[in-house]
Every structure is written in structure tokens, then in C-alpha cells.
């Protein structure tokens, strides 16, 4: 009886809110099989210098105590990936997040050599998942924090605990609206820890441009107990300073 009710509910939702491909409009998937060929996987980068790193690990010569230890990215922030991610963030198409996480870990599973350091990080003792927080006013206006929703799916997929380690202490302009230098000044002193942070943290956000927000969050985490922090984002938007 319960299964019949669930099926009926899903049928009603599919009828009222059909899942359409953001690329071509075909019904059934947010990115249909035909359009999925336009997803461009990217090379992993060092989160400090943003130059190529085979598995996303921070270069030895970029070693800094308060920086991310590594960064895992899946796609370039362009084309159909960019369209879907903007719709998640701007239009509340958050039902697409489980799909994106599932696709991300499918890419990871099919290329374990490229993601071996990230997979090793997942197996660390007491590893947990946290996320870039939204300011209370921002989250109230939008109705959700997309980074938190992504983190919860990552946690569900990996079996790791979700920790709400950070809070945003002041409202700032959207990073995508700022130039490169202003992104760092805008992010600085915008976050605080919600107590002692776990030792090993996977820090989640949607995409990476300059990394200003995640770098600042990492700094706060490490100042408050974290020993190792690894970033996870769906995609990277490269600019002229990436030099890859």
C-alpha cells in the first residue's frame, strides 16, 4: 500500500513538474544522454597556485598551513553544466543536486587514479563533510543554501557525517558580481567557526572561480581545530590568472 502511495505521489509530481533537460528540453533527465556529451571534464588543480595538479593535491612548494590541502572538481563551468548550476542557485532547481552528485561520483569511480588523493581523504579517521554557509538573510530570501544541499548529498553518498562548522557573519555581494581582487577582500572576515572544528573536513561549495570564499572558510576551519581540509566543487570557472 505504501509503495503504491509513493508511486502515485511521484507520478503526480512528474505530471505537474516534469523533469526537462536544461540543454534541449527533452523530458526525463536534467541532462539527457545526448546533451551529456557536452559536459566538459576538467583537469585537477592545486587550490593555492591554481596550476595543474594530477589529483588535486596542493603542490609541495605551495604548502601553507592555512590553505586547502586539495581540491576536487569535476567539470568546467561552461555550457550545460553552467546552465544547470545557475538554475539550481537562481531558480531553486535543487532536485537536480542529487543527480549532479551522483554524476560527480560516477566520474570519480571511473577514474580512480585521477581522484586517488580525494578518495584517500574520504577514508581518513573522523572525516566529515561541511559546507560554505549562507548569511541568514540570504538564505531566508532564497529559501535554501545550495552548498548545504550539495554537502548533504555528498554525505549521503559517502556515508560521512555532515557538520555545520561555519557561519557567515556578514552579508556580502555575490562573488560572481565582483572582480578578482574584490572577491578576496569581500570574503575576508565574513565567516566564523561554530565551535571547535573536526580534524578532517571536506568543504563543499558549488563552483570555484578565484577560490576566495573557500580559502577564507578553510582558514577559519584550521584556526579552530581542523588539521586537514579538502575542497569539493562541481566545477571550475577558469580566468586569465589560472595559467593552466
The number of distinct structural domains making up the chain is: 2
Evaluate whether residue 84 is within a structural domain: yes
pLDDT above 70 covers a percentage of the chain that reads 80
Does 136 score more than 80 pLDDT?
no
Question: Other C-beta atoms within 10 Å of 142: how many?
Answer: 13
Q: Do 223 and 196 belong together in one domain? A: yes
Ranges of H-type helices in the chain: 2-16, 79-91, 97-109, 116-122, 136-142, 146-158, 180-187, 212-223
17 band by pLDDT with thresholds 50, 70 and 90: low
3: its cell numbers: 509503495
Does 137 score more than 90 pLDDT?
no
Evaluate whether residue 241 is within a structural domain: no
Q: Do 21 and 85 belong together in one domain? A: no
CA 206 remoteness from chain centre: 3
155: its cell numbers: 554525505
Answer positive or negative: Cα dihedral of 138, 144, 150, 154.
positive
Output the pTM of the full model: 0.85
How do residues 45-91 score in pLDDT, each as one tens digit?
Answer: 999 999 999 999 999 999 888 899 999 999 999 999 999 999 988 88
Q: How far apart (Å, rounded) are the C-alpha atoms in residues 202 and 217?
A: 11
Does 173 score more than 90 pLDDT?
no
pLDDT reported for residue 13: 43
Position with higher pLDDT, 185 vs 83: 83
Q: Do 98 and 214 belong together in one domain? A: yes
Element containing residue 202 per DSSP (H, E): strand 200-204
pLDDT reported for residue 89: 84
Q: Do 120 and 3 belong together in one domain? A: no
Q: How far apart (Å, rounded) are the C-alpha atoms in residues 84 and 132?
A: 20
241 band by pLDDT with thresholds 50, 70 and 90: very low
Least confident residue range of 75-79, 102-106, 140-144, 195-199: 140-144
Write out the residue range of the structural domain in which residue 29 sits. 1-34
Q: Do 80 and 7 belong together in one domain? A: no
* 68, β-bridge pairs: none
7 band by pLDDT with thresholds 50, 70 and 90: very low
For the chain, the distance separating the N- and C-terminal CA atoms, rounded to the nearest angstrom, is 56
Amino acid at each position: 500500500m505504501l509503495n503504491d502511495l509513493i508511486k502515485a505521489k511521484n507520478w503526480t509530481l512528474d505530471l505537474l513538474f516534469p523533469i526537462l533537460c536544461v540543454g534541449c528540453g527533452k523530458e526525463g533527465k536534467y541532462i539527457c544522454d545526448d546533451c551529456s556529451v557536452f559536459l566538459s571534464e576538467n583537469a585537477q588543480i592545486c587550490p593555492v597556485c591554481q596550476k595543474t595538479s594530477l589529483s588535486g593535491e596542493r603542490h609541495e612548494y605551495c604548502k601553507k598551513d592555512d590553505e586547502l590541502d586539495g581540491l576536487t572538481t569535476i567539470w568546467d563551468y561552461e555550457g550545460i553544466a553552467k546552465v544547470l548550476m545557475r538554475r539550481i542557485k537562481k531558480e531553486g532547481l535543487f532536485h537536480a543536486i542529487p543527480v549532479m552528485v551522483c554524476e560527480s561520483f560516477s566520474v570519480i569511480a571511473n577514474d580512480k587514479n585521477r581522484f586517488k588523493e580525494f578518495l584517500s581523504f574520504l577514508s581518513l579517521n573522523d572525516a566529515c563533510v561541511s559546507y560554505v554557509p549562507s548569511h541568514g538573510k540570504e538564505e531566508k530570501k532564497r529559501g535554501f543554501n545550495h552548498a548545504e544541499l550539495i554537502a548533504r548529498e555528498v554525505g549521503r553518498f559517502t556515508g560521512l557525517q555532515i557538520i555545520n562548522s561555519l557561519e557567515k557573519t556578514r552579508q556580502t555581494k555575490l562573488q560572481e558580481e565582483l572582480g578578482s581582487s574584490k572577491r578576496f577582500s569581500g570574503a575576508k572576515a565574513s565567516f566564523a567557526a561554530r565551535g571547535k572544528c573536526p580534524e578532517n573536513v571536506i568543504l563543499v561549495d558549488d563552483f570555484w572561480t578565484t577560490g576566495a570564499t573557500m580559502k577564507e572558510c578553510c582558514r577559519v576551519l584550521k584556526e579552530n581545530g581542523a588539521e586537514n581540509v579538502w575542497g569539493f566543487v562541481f566545477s571550475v570557472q577558469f580566468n586569465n590568472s589560472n595559467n593552466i
